[in-house]
Structure 1
């Protein structure tokens, strides 16, 4: 896994930088009228760990700007916090998350350890964007428990990679349908804008309500780079800093990159992967109310493709957790 990180960083270092300008949503763009497919992998093995939030995969399809049915645009205009003059996109995703205790080679993990859990989920949502603001409203439905297929998925991957066999999946959370409604608003403000080079900041607020997760969050992301594309940061699997599954490079200068640094704080009222099942007795731990993420990484866009790498630091999520977690996230986006 670490070789993947070295590859992306070396690719960035070898890039020749030429041409002035910065992409704007209102200007000429490459692939502005196309949809985008984003594939996301989040895994703690990037840092030789195998615990807690240990793996997440997600495929996301985002439609082109305003390439949605008329009834969808009309419905979006009724959402009170959407900009009335904003562009509308639809977004659909399918993904799976895995959670384990810190020692996966124990058949009966201690009761004060994070329980085994899987989360198979699909989402549909709307994005409303202007040149400086993005609103995201999303409905996620899924299943927690054995039906999420997290157990066979992890065992297959560990067998193929010759990693230790996880032995405690018999103690995982029970099957439970899940629903989460998520809303995020992000703004983008220029701090420095010169010929080719730019720095901007993107504060955000939002939250989620549901039996799987309920929280409120706020934070910011700082970007600095060359030919900054008009996006809102790298795509991530929620809960996390919000990002965009689409990007708008300038057709005149379609090669660019940026570094980013972000922070998000969450007040957590419900986390099924720590609190346990909603309607049945299950394993659980004492959830912490305040959780923070710090992320840093790099994004590279070349014509119709964008590659991002993110290093995430997460504070302790439950009492008795000896230290915070960290994991890596790779996202690849193509415009079609």
Structure 2
């Protein structure tokens, strides 16, 4: 049943793309600002752990940024010379819950209730073969994140079980994360059965009281008319992706699969509050994500569906992995 649901999602995405009109500015190598919307949820699986994430982001036109941002990019020592520089702005909310949301006082060895409401500002530098992403995220963890109200409202609207344990969520705490990621597009670029494919490795680091980790991995794309991109955007921590893509007039598609490993030093949603007593669990120091999915492009539009399999994140987790899906749409205008 899960596989059928995913196939239906992919078929719907393809059908939408085939009937979308192509903007007059859409064409080879024409780039504009890009709006990306990402929705991640375990709707096809179970209502627990990382249960929901939403993110809206805006990526500026190449080099159409403020003088201050352009100067800031010049001071980043690892940005490549001669790259196209853009700014990105994002806003989002994540929510995390224990195994059984119907229990009013969840077991203390289960994942704590937590919410994360945040805004991000970043710089990206792109050369055609390499993408560098530097982003600062600030927000709030705890009741001020409004995750409790969001989940209860949505569950009431869809007649789903009411989450009962939000009184035990993490306490309010300001949060920040500084992330840097680098991707090398088409590090390997060949064809199989007459269809092109490429491999894009990546590496990154995050520092902050919300997340601190180092990561590395790769993404394989296989399809027709592969767009110049680095995979669809995702909500961190995850394989990097980006709102960046070069539009193309004809319909294109690609299947993709990727793997990332993270060495985790801090995850506030498992370790608990930094300066206050709160629920917490013993986290796993190494976490892996395996993802696969489909991306389709036409003109100024890119749609994707991703399925993510995340390895065990804390000692008493009731399963060896957690499964969730991600839908994204990016539009240039």
Aligned to 1:217: 215
Residue 198 (structure 1) shift: 1.6
Residue 16 (structure 1) shift: 11
Residue 250 (structure 1) shift: 3.1
Residue 75 (structure 1) shift: 1.9
Matches within 5 A, 1:28-67: 29-30=27-28, 32-47=30-45, 49-67=46-64
Residue 246 (structure 1) shift: 2.1
Moved over 6 A (4+): 1-4, 12-17
Contact persistence 1:122–1:141 (CA under 8 A)? yes
The one-character-per-residue Cα deviations of 1:90-142 (angstroms, maximum 9, x if unpaired) are: 00000000000000000100000000000000000000001110000000000
Question: How many aligned residue pairs are there?
Answer: 323
Are 2:240 and 1:236 equivalent residues in the alignment? no
The correspondence for 1:69, drawn from 48, 66, 69, is 66
2:191 & 2:83 partners in 1: Cα distance? 24
Aligned to 2:23: none
TM-score (norm 1): 0.91
Are 2:119 and 1:118 equivalent residues in the alignment? no
* DSSP 3-state at the match of 1:280: coil
Residue 194 (structure 1) shift: 8.8
The correspondence for 1:88, drawn from 85, 89, 92, is 85
Contact persistence 1:31–1:335 (CA under 8 A)? no
- List runs of 5+ in structure 1 lacking aligned partners: 18-27
Are 2:128 and 1:127 equivalent residues in the alignment? no
TM-score (norm 2): 0.92
Aligned to 1:264: 260
Aligned to 1:289: 285
- List runs of 5+ in structure 2 lacking aligned partners: 19-25
Q: What is the aligned-residue RMSD (CA, Å)?
A: 2.2
Aligned to 1:137: 134
1:244 & 1:88 partners in 2: Cα distance? 14
2:129 & 2:83 partners in 1: Cα distance? 10
Aligned to 2:10: 9
